[in-house]
Chain A
Amino acid sequence: AAGVIQSPRHLIKEKRETATLKCYPIPRHDTVYWYQQGPGQDPQFLISFYEKMQSDKGSIPDRFSAQQFSDYHSELNMSSLELGDSALYFCASSFVGVGNEKLFFGSGTQLSVL
């Protein structure tokens, strides 16, 4: 079965550079979530999109932005990168129905800011 695809798997950037992470949800899923997981920490919710509109916003820095495109894939854009942005970034997708939502997570993008 198709899963959530994230690219790239690994990304190395310097401070103050920009980065773009991509997420391709499971086919027919209409909702995408972005999570950030720092070393030794639990996943923290950043932002979500439902039907290409921003749905919920968590602890996403103003330097970050995201969108969901017409084909439902999503991109997380990160500017003015800081050392503290080094983390695993997970994308998850789901199909919004009536209750009982399950999130399916991708393998993540490991971002290292040097």
Chain B
Amino acid sequence: DAKTTQPTSMDCAEGRAANLPCNHSTISGNEYVYWYRQIHSQGPQYIIHGLKNNETNEMASLIITEDRKSSTLILPHATLRDTAVYYCIVNLGISSGSARQLTFGSGTQLTVLP
């Protein structure tokens, strides 16, 4: 799996958009970008994933650059409950008939400030 680089920590004001960057310059053409988060001592939680196109769901938006070497996770209106470690993970996903684990690197500690 391609390596990812994320800032160690970020702050965001409550109600503002939180933009979390991730560099994955060695990503291959068939690797997806996944985002998970982990609120203190809880199990990691899936947020969003994408291959090439930008994606949006009820939790966040994922913007992937055209060359796919970096991406940004956007939490449009951050709340105090969004304080967590956010992990950007590049992964092949799974092919039919096999499983593939996620490798967690060092994520970004996002602190939402009141």
Considering only CB atoms and an 8 Å cut-off, how many residues of chain B contact the other chain?
27
Whether A81 sits at the interface, judged by CB under 8 Å, is: no
Q: Please, which residues of chain A bring their CB within 8 A of the CB of B94?
A: 94, 96-99, 101
Main secondary structure, interface of B, reads: loop
Pick from A4, A100, A103: contact of B102, CB under 8 Å:
A103
CA A98 to CA B63, docked complex, whole Å: 23
Whether B7 sits at the interface, judged by CB under 8 Å, is: no
User: Does B96 contact A96, Cβ atoms closer than 8 Å?
Assistant: yes
- Of A12-20, A44-52, A72-80, which stretch is located at the interface? A44-52
- 3 closest A-B pairs by beta carbon, nearest first, are A105-B43, A50-B99, A99-B93
CA A56 to CA B102, docked complex, whole Å: 11
CA A105 to CA B45, docked complex, whole Å: 7
Whether B100 sits at the interface, judged by CB under 8 Å, is: yes
Q: Assuming A45-B102, A55-B99, A103-B36, what are 16 further A-B pairs, CB within 8 angstroms?
A: A33-B99, A35-B104, A43-B44, A45-B101, A88-B41, A90-B44, A92-B44, A96-B97, A96-B98, A96-B99, A97-B96, A100-B32, A101-B99, A105-B43, A106-B43, A108-B42
Q: Please, which residues of chain B bring their CB within 8 A of the CB of A42?
A: 87, 104-107
Of chain B, the residue at the smallest CB distance from A56 is: B101
Pick from A33, A102, A106: contact of B101, CB under 8 Å:
A33
User: Does B45 contact A101, Cβ atoms closer than 8 Å?
Assistant: no
Q: Please, which residues of chain B bring their CB within 8 A of the CB of A44?
A: 104
- Proximity bits, B74-114, A CB within 8 Å = 1, else 0: 00000000000001000101111111111111110000000
